[in-house]
Amino acid sequence: MRQPVRYDVDLTDRRQHLVRVTLSLPDDLAAGARVVLSAWTPGSYVIRDYVHHVQWIHALDDRGPISLIPDGTSAWRLADDVASGARVDLELYANDLSVRTNHVDDQHALLIPAATFPWVEGARDRPHEVHLVATPSHHRVFSLLPEADAADTWIADDLDHLIDSAFEVGDHQQAAWEVAGVAHQFVWAGPGRIHGLDDLATDAEAISREAVTLFDGALPARHHTTLCVAWDRGGGGLEHRDGAVLQVPVHTFGDPAMRARLQVLYAHEYLHLFNARRLVPAALVSPDLERPVQTESLWVAEGWTSYYDELLPTRAGAWTAAQWLDHLGSALDQVWTTPGVELQSLRQASRDAWVKHYVRDENSPNAGTDYYNHGALVAWELDLRIRGADPDSDGLDVVLRQLWDRHAGAVEGYTEDDVLAAIGDVAGDALRELARTRVDTPGWPDIDDELLAPFGLRLEPASPSTPAAPDLGVVVTEDDRGVTFASVLRDGSAWRAGITGGDRLVAIDAITVGRGELSAALAARDAGDVVEIAVVRGPRLLTLPVELDAPRRRHRLATVDTPDAAQRQAFRRWTGQDLPTNR
C-alpha cells in the first residue's frame, strides 16, 4: 500500500494562539515535492490567503535540514536530493474566529483543515492521517473525520475528505441522537454551560429527519457532527462532507429570535450534506485549492438550500406556519427593494461570488443580487407553480430527488443544463424555460395572488402598529456612536440628495439623532417633506437637503377569507402544517 500523508498537531502554546503542524511526506513523493497551503476552503468562495498566518516554515529529513524553496504565493518545493523521513514543520497564528478560519485559546481550539494542513501535490487521492492530542488532558478532540485504529488519530479517505472536515478541541457540552441508523452529534463549543441544548437537539433531530425524507430516505453520511462555536459577535455556517461548523452569538439560547436563526443555520448546513456535498456542481468536484473556481450553479447549491432551510423547520414543527410565512414575506421585501436585482442575473451572481458576494462594500445592494435569498425566491416560485398545476405533486421536492437520483456522487457533478432538464421532466418545457429566464435575466421572481391562491394565501400590505415613516432609502447600522448609513439605495431619497454609504448621521433639522432614534425622527415627518440631514463623512461635516419618499412598501402573506378544503390540503401537503387562521 502507498504511504499515507500524515500530520502531527501541537497545541502546547494555544494560549498564545499558536498551532504547530508537522507534515510527514510519503517517501516516494518527497524528492522535489511541491507543498501547498490552500488559498480558500470549499463552501466559502473567496481567497483567504491562509498563508498570512504562517509564522515560520522549514523542512528536514533524516540527515537534517533541507531547503524549502518558495513556489508561488502559498507553496514551496523541496530539494531533489531529499532522504527518507522528509517532513515540513510550520507554526500558525490562530486568532481569527469564523467558520472558515482557525481560532485557538485556553478554552477551545477550532481547526479548519484548509487553513491548517499544507498538502502534497500528487498525493490528493491518498489517505491523510491527523494525529492530535488534546491539551489540557480534560479536553477532548471532536472531529468530522472518523477515528483511526491508532490512538488520538483521525483518517481521511483523501485530501478532499480532509479539507472537507474540521476539528474542535475543548471541554464541551454535547447532545446526540440517531437518524436513519446514523449517529448524530452536536457539540456546543462556547464558554460556560448552557440550558436548552436538549431542546435544540430535539428540534435538530426532527429537522434532520425531514431532510432525509426530502431526499427519499437517503442519508449517505457515515456519521454527522455539528461543531457550534459561540462568541460575542458574528454568525454563519460552513458545510462539510459529514457535518458542519456553525458560529452563533454566545447568548443564542436566551433569545427566541437567535434560537430560530440557529435552527435555520442547522437546517441549511444539514441540507448541504445532500445539495452541495454529494450533489455537486461540476466545477466544484475536487476543485483547485490555490485559485478561484467559478460555477454558475450557486443559485441551486445555495439558493435552493436557502428556500428549504426555513421550510424544513416548519415541516419538522420547530417553526409555526405563521412564523414561516412572516419570514417569506420579509424575504420578498428584501429582494424587491434591492436595486442590484435589476442589474445582475442569478447566473452572474453565482459566477461572480468571488468578487461580489464575498467582497462587499457600501454599494453592494446597488451592484448585484444575492444568490441565497434571490435564489430561494426563485425556488419558491418554481415550487408553487409545480404544486399549483398538479395538486398531487410534491413540487420542487420531486426535482431535487430526480437530480439526486441522476447526479449524486457523480464524478462529473451536475451542470445547470442538468437542473433545467430535471425541471422540464417534472413540470414540462414551459416551466423549464421560465426557470432559464429567471436565472439568465436580471429581475424579480413573479410571486402574486394568482400563484398563492391554490394554497389559501394572498399578499397584502403589512399593517404596522404605528403609521409607517417616510423612506430615506438607506440600510443602517447602529452602535454606541449612533446611526451609520451602511448603504444608500440607488435612486432613493438619500441617494438623490448626495448622501453616501458610510456617512454617519448626526442630526435631522438640527436635532441630534442617536442610536434607536431614526425611526421616531422620520415618523414625525410626511412624505414629500424636505429635511436637513447632517452627516459626518470622514473629517467633513455635511448638511444636505433631503426630500423624503413615501413609506417603503412592506408585505405579508395572509390567508384568504374563506379557504376551501383543497386549499387547506395543498397547504398541508406543502408545509406539513395546517393553514393558519386569522392572518
Does residue 390 have a pLDDT over 90?
yes
Amino acid residing at 104? V
So what's the pLDDT on residue 218? Answer: 81
Q: Cβ neighbours of residue 405 under 8 Å, at least 6 residues apart?
A: none
So what's the pLDDT on residue 452? Answer: 97
Q: What is the mean pLDDT of residues 124-129?
A: 97
Q: Where are the alpha helices (DSSP H) in 364-462?
A: 364-367, 373-389, 396-407, 416-427, 429-440, 449-452
Band of pLDDT at residue 498, cut at 50, 70 and 90: very high
Question: Mean of the per-residue pLDDT values for the chain?
Answer: 95
Summarised one tens digit per residue, pLDDT across range 326-377 is 999 999 999 999 999 999 999 999 999 999 999 999 999 999 999 999 999 9
Q: What is the mean pLDDT of residues 270-275?
A: 97
Nearest-5° Cα angle at 99, 240 to 107: 115
Find out whether 207 and 313 touch, Cβ atoms under 8 Å: yes
Percentage of the chain lying above the pLDDT 70 cut: 99
Instruction: Using alpha carbons, list the distances in angstroms from residue 472 to 339, 343, 483, 488, 526.
Output: 14, 21, 13, 8, 12
Does residue 275 have a pLDDT over 80?
yes
Give this prediction's pTM: 0.95
Summarised one tens digit per residue, pLDDT across range 229-241 is 998 777 899 999 9
Band of pLDDT at residue 557, cut at 50, 70 and 90: very high
Band of pLDDT at residue 467, cut at 50, 70 and 90: low
Q: What is the mean pLDDT of residues 470-486?
A: 94
Find out whether 284 and 295 touch, Cβ atoms under 8 Å: yes
38-47, 249-258, 401-410: which has the minimum mean pLDDT? 249-258
Q: Please, what's the b/e burial string for 316-345 (b: 16 or more CB within 10 A of its CB; e: otherwise)?
A: bebbebbebbbbbbbbbbebbbbbbbeebb
458's grid cell = 394572498
Q: What is the mean pLDDT of residues 416-440?
A: 97
So what's the pLDDT on residue 143? Answer: 97
Band of pLDDT at residue 193, cut at 50, 70 and 90: confident
Does residue 214 have a pLDDT over 90?
yes
Find out whether 52 and 115 touch, Cβ atoms under 8 Å: no
Report which secondary-structure segment, H or E, holds 336. Answer: helix 321-336
Summarised one tens digit per residue, pLDDT across range 54-70 is 999 999 999 999 999 99
So what's the pLDDT on residue 272? Answer: 97
Find out whether 349 and 359 touch, Cβ atoms under 8 Å: no
Q: What is the mean pLDDT of residues 500-511?
A: 97
Band of pLDDT at residue 89, cut at 50, 70 and 90: very high
So what's the pLDDT on residue 154? Answer: 98
Find out whether 494 and 488 touch, Cβ atoms under 8 Å: yes
So what's the pLDDT on residue 191? Answer: 84
So what's the pLDDT on residue 464? Answer: 58
Q: What is the mean pLDDT of residues 104-109?
A: 95
Provide the β-strand partners of residue 484.
477, 504
Band of pLDDT at residue 401, cut at 50, 70 and 90: very high
Q: What is the mean pLDDT of residues 478-504?
A: 96
The four Cα atoms 273, 275, 277, 283 give a dihedral, to 10 degrees, of: -170
So what's the pLDDT on residue 395? Answer: 97
d(CA 352, CA 358): 9
Closest listed residue to residue 533, CA positions, set 569, 501, 497: 497
Q: What is the mean pLDDT of residues 160-168?
A: 97
So what's the pLDDT on residue 545? Answer: 98
Find out whether 341 and 444 touch, Cβ atoms under 8 Å: yes
So what's the pLDDT on residue 396? Answer: 98
So what's the pLDDT on residue 465? Answer: 56
The four Cα atoms 564, 570, 574, 576 give a dihedral, to 10 degrees, of: 60
So what's the pLDDT on residue 461? Answer: 84
So what's the pLDDT on residue 165? Answer: 96
Band of pLDDT at residue 466, cut at 50, 70 and 90: low
Summarised one tens digit per residue, pLDDT across range 277-327 is 999 999 999 999 999 999 999 999 999 999 999 999 999 999 999 999 999
Closest listed residue to residue 372, CA positions, set 264, 294, 453, 450: 264
The four Cα atoms 120, 123, 125, 126 give a dihedral, to 10 degrees, of: -100
Find out whether 108 and 172 touch, Cβ atoms under 8 Å: yes
